[in-house]
Amino acid sequence: MAGPADLRILVACKRVVDYAVKIRVNAAGTAVETNNLKHSMNPFDEIGAEQAILIKEAFAKSKKTVDVIAVSCGPAKAQETLRTALAMGADRAVHVETNDDLQPLAVAKVLKAIVEKEKPDIVILGKQAIDDDSNQTGQMLAGLLNWPQATFASKVELAEKAMTVTREVDGGIETIKTPLPAILTTDLRLNIPRYASLPNIMKAKKKPLEKIAIASLSIDVAPRIEILKVAEPAKRQGGKTVENVDELISKLKNEAKVL
Amino acid sequence: MMPSFFRPVLSHTLRRAVVLRQGLSNNTVARTQLFRAAFSQTAVKATPSTTVIQETSKSAYKTERDPNFKELSEQDLAFFKSVLPPSSIVQDEDNLSNYNIDWLKRYQGHSKLVLKPSTTEQVSKLLKYCSDNRIAVVPQGGNTGVVGGGTPVFDEVIISTSNMNNIRSFDAISGSLVCDAGCILENLDNFLAENGHIMPLDLGAKGRQVCQIGGNVSTNAGGLRYLRYGSLHGNVLGLEVVLPDGTILNNMSTLRKDNTGYDLKQLFIGAEGTLGIVTGVSIASPKRPKAVNLALLGVDSFDQVIATFKRSKDELCEIVSAFEFWDQASINLVQKHLAVGSNIPLQSSHQFYVLVETSGSNKEHDDEKLGQLLEGLITDGIIQDGVLAQDTTQIRNLWAIREGIPEACSKAGAVYMYDISMPVSVLYKLVEDLKTRFQEKGVFGEGKLIKSVTGFGHMGDGNLHLNVEADAFTPEATGLIEPFIYEWTAENSGSISAEHGLGRMKNQYLHYTKAPEMIDLMRRLKVVFDPKGIMNPYKFFPSS
Segment (H or E) for A199: helix A198-204
The tally of CA atoms less than 13 A away on the side-chain side of residue B526 is 19
CA distances from B519 to A129, B461, B528 (A): 62, 25, 14
The residue among B179, B173, B136, B174 whose CA lies nearest residue B161 is: B179
* Contact between residue B221 and residue B232 where contact means Cβ atoms under 8 Å apart: yes
- Please identify every stretch of chain A with a pLDDT value under 70, giving residue numbers as ranges: 1-3
Q: Which residues of A touch B374 (CB under 8 A)?
A: 198, 201
B151 Cβ contact list (under 8 Å, min separation 6): B99, B100, B101, B102, B107, B109, B138, B140, B143, B158
User: Could A198 and B386 be called an inter-chain contact, meaning their C-beta atoms sit closer than 8 Å?
Assistant: yes
The residue among A219, A185, A217 whose CA lies nearest residue A14 is: A185
Of B385, B392, B394, the CB nearest to A197: B385
Q: Which residues of A fall below an 8 Å CB-CB distance to B? A: 18-22, 36, 38, 40-41, 43, 46, 84, 87, 192, 194-199, 201-202
Distance (Å, whole) CA A167 – CA A189: 10
CATH topology of domain A7-254: Rossmann fold (3.40.50)
Q: What is the ipTM of this complex?
A: 0.88
Q: Which residues of B touch A192 (CB under 8 A)?
A: 343
| SS3 at position B538 | coil
Task: Return the residue in A195, A200, A203, A206 with the most chain B beta carbons within 10 A, the one to mutate for interface testing.
Answer: A195
Domain ranges of chain A: 7-254
Distance (Å, whole) CA B377 – CA B297: 10
Q: At what angle do helices B429-440 and B484-491 cross, to 10 degrees?
A: 140
How would you class A167 by CB atoms within 10 Å of its CB: exposed for 0-12, middle for 13-18, buried for 19 or more?
Answer: middle
Distance (Å, whole) CA B372 – CA B160: 49
Sign of the four-CA dihedral B441, B446, B447, B453: positive
* Percentage above 70 pLDDT, chain B: 88
Q: Which residues of B fall below an 8 Å CB-CB distance to A? A: 193, 290-292, 295-297, 343, 345-346, 371, 374-375, 378, 383, 385-394, 396
Look at residue B259 and tell me whether its pLDDT is greater than 80: yes
pLDDT tens track for B25-40: 333 333 433 333 333 3
Mean pLDDT value of segment B155-184:
96
* Contact between residue B399 and residue B298 where contact means Cβ atoms under 8 Å apart: no
Q: How much is the pTM?
A: 0.85
Look at residue B8 and tell me whether its pLDDT is greater than 80: no
Q: Which residues of B touch A202 (CB under 8 A)?
A: 375, 378
CB atoms within 10 A of CB A68: 27
pLDDT tens track for A15-74: 999 998 888 898 899 899 988 889 999 999 999 999 999 999 999 999 999 999 999 999
Distance (Å, whole) CA B89 – CA B414: 33
